[in-house]
Structures are given as C-alpha cells and as structure tokens.
Amino acid sequence: MLSDISTPVLLLSLLGILFGLGLGWAARRFRVEQDPVVDQIDALLPQTQCAQCGYPGCRPYAEAIASGEADINQCPPGGEAGIRALADLLGREPKPLNPENGVEKPRTVAVIDEEACIGCTLCIQACPVDAIVGASKQMHTVIEEACTGCDLCLPPCPVDCIDMVELEPRLETWRRSRPAPKIALREPA
Amino acid sequence: MAAIKARAQDRTAGTGMTYPELTRQTRNAGEHLHHFHGGLRLRHNKKISCTRPVERPPLPECLVVPLQQHAGGPAEAVVKAGDAVLKGDVLGINVEQRSARIHAPTSGTVQGIENRPMAHPSGLVGPCVIISPDGRDQWSSLDTLPDWKSMDPQTLSDRIRETGVVGLGGAVFPTAEKASGGRVANVHTLIINGAECEPYISCDEMLMREHPDRIIRGSCILRHACGAEKIVIAIEDQMGAVQRAFETALEASGAENVSLVKIPSIYPEGGERQLIQVLTGQEVPLGSLPADIGLVCQNVATAAAVADAVLEGHPLIERYVTVTGEGIREPRNLLALIGTPVAHLVTQCGGYTEAATRMVVGGPMMGYALASDQEPIVKASNCILVMTEDQVTPPQDEMPCIRCGECARVCPAQLLPQELHREIRNNLWSEAEADRLHACIECGCCDFVCPSQIPLVDWFRYGKDELRQQALDQQAADLARVRFEARERRLERIKQQKRERIKLRKQALSNRSEQQKKVAAAVERASNRKSGMTEQGSEE
C-alpha cells in the first residue's frame, strides 16, 4: 500500500527537482541583460530629455512605463502621435495627453543673447544633451543641430538671456500641409 | 563606386536580374520600342505657343536672381551691393560637389542681396541678388574649350560645373554631377530626352526646331564627359518639324553613333524612368539610378546649355520659357534671362486676357500655382501657364473614394493610389512606406482620372514630406540619445573619480593619524623613560 503511493511521489519529486534545476540553469544561461521592452519604448520617445514626464530623461521614463509605474500619456514633445505609437506597442488604449505634464508645442531651439551672457556656465550644466558650449566668464552659445528644445536651460540662467525660438522654415525643411478636404467627408469615428 | 560593386551580385527587384545583366539588356536602347504601365493620351495644346517665332524680350528694369535654383545646397553670394558685374560673372558659389554656381544674366550694378520669393511651391523667401542692368549687356571674358574631344572628361565636368549647368527638364539636378556619376558607373548609352510630354509646354520643341545643331554638339560633349558610347535622341511622334530639323542637322554634323527615335506620345513618357522603359523595355530598379543600369538621361535643353558652356564659354543665364494658356493674349516661347520677373514676359506676350484666373509654373499636370507675377524666372521654369476660370474649377466637389481602381490602371509607377490615399489619410505611415509611396513621380495621372475628384497627388506630396520629416526627427532623436547617454557616462565617471579621491584622502588622513599615534606613543615612551630615569636618579 505504502510502496504504491511512494513510487509516484518519489518520481514526481525527482521530476520537480530536475525541472527546477533545468529552469534555474536556463535562467542563468539565457538571462536577458536588459529589458527589451524598455529599449522598444525608448526608441519611440522623442529623446528631448526635457523631464516634463517627471523622470530625469527619456530612458528613465521608458523604464518607468515598462515597470507599470508611469502612464503612456506623460510626454508632451511626443504628442498624440507618440502616445498612439506607445499604445500600439504596448497593446493599450490611446488616451489624451495628461495636461499636468504640459502641452504639445512646435519644436523650438534655444538661442543665447550673446551680448547679455555673463559666462556663468549654469546653462551648460543644465543641458541634458551637451548642446551648449562655452567656458567660465566666456560667452556661451548653442549648437542648433544638437538642441532638443527642452527648456531646461531657461530656469538656471541668472540674467535671463536665453530665448526659445521656433525654427525658420528653410527650403530643405519646408513641407506641405495636409490637404483640406473640399467637402466635409465623414471621417471614421 | 563601392556601392555599385557591392551590388554586382544582387538581384534587382522585380526582374530577377543582376545589375550587370540589366546593364547588358539596356544596350539595345531605342532599337525596339516598349510600353510602360498606364499613362494617358492627353490633348497636347502645344500649337498655340508654337506659331510665333522665339523672341528675346528687352532687358527688364531689374533682375532678381535667387541663389538657390537647383538641387543641393544654396550658393553663397560672392558679390555685394554696389558691385559692377559683367554678363556671365559669378554671383554665387557653393563648394559642395552637388550644387551649382549662379551667374549674372546681364551687365549692370548689384543693388543688393535681399530676401525675396524664390519661385518655389513653398513661396518661401530666400537670398536673391538684385541687379539693375546697364543696358550694354556686355560679356565678361569668355573661356572656350574648342578642342574638347582631346580633353580629360573630368576637365569637361569641371567646366560644366563652373558654368552652372543644371538639368533643365525640371529636376534641376547639377549636370556635372550626373556626368561624373555616369563615368564612375561605366554607362554605355546617353539618352537625350526630347519627349516633352506635358500639355501646353513647348519650349523644348521650339529649341529642337531652331537649334538641333547645338543639341547634337552638346550631346557629343556630354557623351565624352560621362564616358558613354552611343547617343539616343528621343522625340515624340507628333513632332514632325523637329524630326526634319534633327535629320538635317545630324547629316550636317557628321556625328557618329547617334540615333533619333520617335516614340508614341503618351503622358508621362518624358519622365526619366518611363522613357528608359519605352526605349529599353527594362525598368530602373526602385532606389537605383539609371547609371546603375548603364544609362544617363539628359534633357535636350541641358545638352544645348552644355554646348554653349564648352564651345562658347557661356554660363547658364537664359532659357526657353513657354508663356501660354487661354489666359494669355499672344502665347509664345521666349528666350528669357534667369531672374526676369514673370510679369515682364507676360507683357511681351500681349498681357492677360479677361478670363485669366490662375498662374501656374510648369504644365497643367505637374505645375504649381505662382503667388505673384513679380517672382523671377529660374533655371527650372519651363513654362508659365495662365488658366481660365472654367479650366481651374473642377466639375464637382470632392467625393469619397469609390475604389473603382481607375487610378491604379493609369499609374505609370504601378502603385495603388487608392490604397496610398487611404493610408496617408489615416496616418498609417509604415503601410504607406511599404506600398512604395516614395516611388510616386507626382505625374498627376491618378488625379486626372479620379471620378471622385480627390486631389490624390496633393495627398502623396504631403505624405512624402511627412515621411521625410519623420526620418529627420528620428535622426535628431538618435543624435540626442547618443549625446544624453554620453553625458550620463561622463557624469558617472566624474562622480566615480570624486569618490576615489575622497577615499584616497580619507586613507591619507587615517595614515596620518596612525603616524601621529605612533609619534605620540614614542613621545610617551620617551617621557616615561625620562621620568623613570629621574626617579632612579632621585633614589641615588
């Protein structure tokens, strides 16, 4: 009677131990260094590094979304299109941008009034993408191509000499606007 | 070149052939005629501007020469306000290979460099050199290359670049760059495109009638510059006068390996890719250039401009412009200086009729509306078309797509315009890209046949711009990510270094305190010994 029950119990425990060992080994052998979801989310974020989402950069926000800590509607520079892309990736419903994080604005770049700049280096330290060059007591200037328009250099400036300006349309960057339907077509609801 | 070599083994899309195989297939260009998909037979409407001889209008009061008239970067002005310039003097230079110089169209004084509208669909302003002519029209010193046959092709390319010659068929691609590209790719055939297929435009036709000799000479120079063996001149079968002119000129010139081919007039046959398909039966693979399959294609007006540049030393400062349409009193072709205001040309053609409603640069199929007739003629302006009210207004309003498929039937690029339209309208960008939106040549055939009057090409142009912008945004985001991560690493490294310094200092401090302890201990020992000795001494 006893031996009847002990054989399967033993067998199952043995199997359990074997599978456990196998899983334990596989977890070490095939361990994923980084969460691939974080990379995928990070690739969709605009990389403005503006911290309007409440995290110190796009990557930290991506990590927060992946862990479920942050919602997908906290990135104003990404805008509606960004939220839609995140919703598609994560299989969630798109929702409107959270107004607490800011509003979607056209892209701008920082311009330093070089006459007024006193060379305090505070904006250089604040810039998340090293787009400002200059040295102590020397005039600073912004590298236009590298500036993401994050506004983070504005608060530290003691003489308020930085302006955010919209880029002038040039022939290379000009694009046509969306054609307006001549009659009100019924768009899908 | 490396790219071309690397692709030698690749199969091209659609044909299943490798690039060298395809290049061999295109060697018989012009021997048999083939078809391209779709296209339209349109009413030509060319005769109304071909009845009057080509004239050179009198000098306008002022010339506005934009510094960007071509593909590639804008030229930088090398003159300033108050400078006296002679006809043919350089006004702007760009050091980039893929760019072109800008020259003074007549002699006079530079009034200044101002931001003016640049004769571009965007209506954007850009730097333009304003010249007030002195009326003498005096050439600056001209440097000719009469013995070009014995010259290095590179020298010829350089001359073509210095004289600012760009493709006059509409794309304004720098000609020297195309010739150099052809040399690198070992092309065998130069196609001279005289198939001016868009209705109303007749500037190339008039040029071919009046100056076939210049076109043939220019073609031979271009053939030498791009290293091709033979020349195929393609004209439309409706151009009887052109054919006769060419035959006479060919006989007189004695040029070898030049053939004249008449092709049936189907719009948009003058498109580079469509013309190649008609002449060779092969398609230029998507994402490749004609040079990749052994061909270079140049417009007839470009060939004539090359002849002027090399044999006369004249830079590109004037072009044939068709001023036509039911809104013009005396439609005709004019030989206009670059920078002439459009209004000046219209005056030469008797002015506007009462019915004139809209002004278009280019033809009725691909042209764009001009905001003001004060804008200048540029190297790309082939035609000024003034249309009337009933030509502009569509017979009915835009209606929903009924998916009839007419647009797909006429599309020369074999796209599915109805699908692309749906995708762009619903912001399905990756799908639009997968359906080859970028292969659209914006010929307007789908627009023309759409029974629902949907402005399909407007949607496709918008979609292309949007996709390009998305690619640029992605590039900017990638750059920002790299810079952000580099900064994070640097800050981490600085923090690490600081920690290490503090550790070292702490260690140094503790070392010092240990030494101090040792010293104190030694002092104590010494003082102990001393006191012991004095005690002993006192006992003695």
**B397-527 topology per CATH:** Fumarate Reductase Iron-sulfur Protein; Chain B, domain 2 (1.10.1060)
B46 has a pLDDT exceeding 80: yes
- Cβ-defined contact of A176 to B481 (cutoff 8 Å): no
A25 occurs within a structural domain: no
- The Cα–Cα gap between A82 and A67 comes to 19
CATH code assigned to B58-137+146-315: 3.40.50.11540
Structure tokens at A188: 């899908």
- A189 in contact with B, Cβ within 8 Å: no
One domain for residues A91 and A121 = no
Please determine, for residue B97, whether its predicted confidence score (pLDDT) is greater than 90: no
Give the residue from A167, A171, A172 with the most B CB atoms within 10 Å of its CB, the best one to mutate.
A171
- Mean pLDDT for the stretch of residues B34-47: 90
Pair (A44, A85) in one structural domain: yes
Beta-carbon contacts of residue A139 (< 8 Å; ≥ 6 apart): A112, A114, A117, A119
Does the pTM of the predicted model rise above 0.95?
A: no
Provide the residue count of chain A.
Answer: 189
pLDDT in tens, B412-426: 999 999 999 999 998
Higher pLDDT, B451 or B10: B451
- B208 against B120, higher pLDDT: B208
pLDDT of residue B185: 86
Of A127-131, B141-145, B173-177, give the range with the top mean pLDDT. Answer: A127-131
B463 contacts B439 by C-beta, under 8 angstroms:
no
Residue A57 forms part of a structural domain: yes
Same domain, A124 and A88: no
Asked whether residue B170 carries a pLDDT value surpassing 90, the answer given is no
- The pLDDT value recorded for residue A187 is 45
- Name the residue range of residue A75's domain: 36-101
Give me the residues of A, 7-66, that contact B with CB < 8 A.
Answer: 42, 45-49, 57-59
Q: What per-residue confidence (pLDDT) applies to B12?
A: 62
Q: In chain A, which residues have pLDDT < 70?
A: 1-2, 34, 181-189
Render pLDDT for B329-388 as a digit per residue (tens, 0 to 9): 999 999 999 999 999 999 999 999 998 888 999 999 998 888 888 999 999 999 999 998
Residue A147 belongs to a domain: yes
Q: Which pLDDT does position B62 carry in this prediction?
A: 92
CB–CB of B226/B185 below 8 Å? Answer: no
Lowest mean pLDDT among A159-168, B71-80, B154-163, B467-476: B71-80
Pick from B126, B472, B478: CB nearest A171: B126
Check: CB of residue B65 under 8 Å from CB of residue B104.
Answer: yes
- Using 50, 70 and 90 to split pLDDT, how confident is the model at B396? confident
Query: Does residue A5 form part of some domain?
Result: no
Q: What residue spans in chain B does CATH classification 3.40.50.11540 cover?
A: 58-137+146-315
A94 and A126 together in one domain: no
Task: Determine the Cα–Cα distance for residues B110 and B129; give it in Å rounded to an integer.
Answer: 7
Q: Do both A87 and A114 map to the same domain?
A: no
Distance CA B488, CA B323 (A): 61
Q: Is residue B307 predicted with pLDDT exceeding 80?
A: yes
**Mean of pLDDT over chain B:** 89
* C-alpha closest to that of B203 among B323, B65, B302, B60: B323
B389: pLDDT strictly greater than 90: no
Contact between residue B206 and residue B179 where contact means Cβ atoms under 8 Å apart: no
Residues A89 and A134 placed together within one structural domain of the fold = no
Percent of chain B surpassing pLDDT 90: 58
| Interchain proximity A179–B462, CB inside 8 Å | yes
Please tell me whether residues A80 and A128 are part of one structural domain: no
Instruction: Please report the pLDDT score of residue B181 as a whole number.
Output: 85
The answer as to whether A68 is a domain residue is: yes
* B472 contacts A173? CB cut-off 8 A: yes
A148, A178, A181 ranked by CB distance to B398: nearest: A181
Split at pLDDT 50, 70, 90, the class of B1 is very low
Q: How confident is the model at residue B530 (pLDDT cuts 50, 70, 90)?
A: confident
Q: Are residues A95 and A131 in the same domain?
A: no
According to the model, what pLDDT value does residue B5 have? 46
Number of folded domains that form chain A? 2
As a whole number, mean pLDDT of residues B134-158 equals 89
Contact assessment for residue A143 and residue A98, using Cβ atoms and an 8 Å cutoff: no
Check CB contact of A184 with chain B, cutoff 8 Å: no
| Span B239-268, average pLDDT | 91
**Which CATH number covers residue A83?**
1.10.15.40
pLDDT for B295: 93
Q: What is the pLDDT of residue A16?
A: 97
Residues of chain B with CATH 1.10.1060: 397-527
Distance of alpha carbon B130 from alpha carbon B171, whole angstroms: 25
Q: Residue A169 and residue B126: Cβ atoms within 8 Å?
A: no
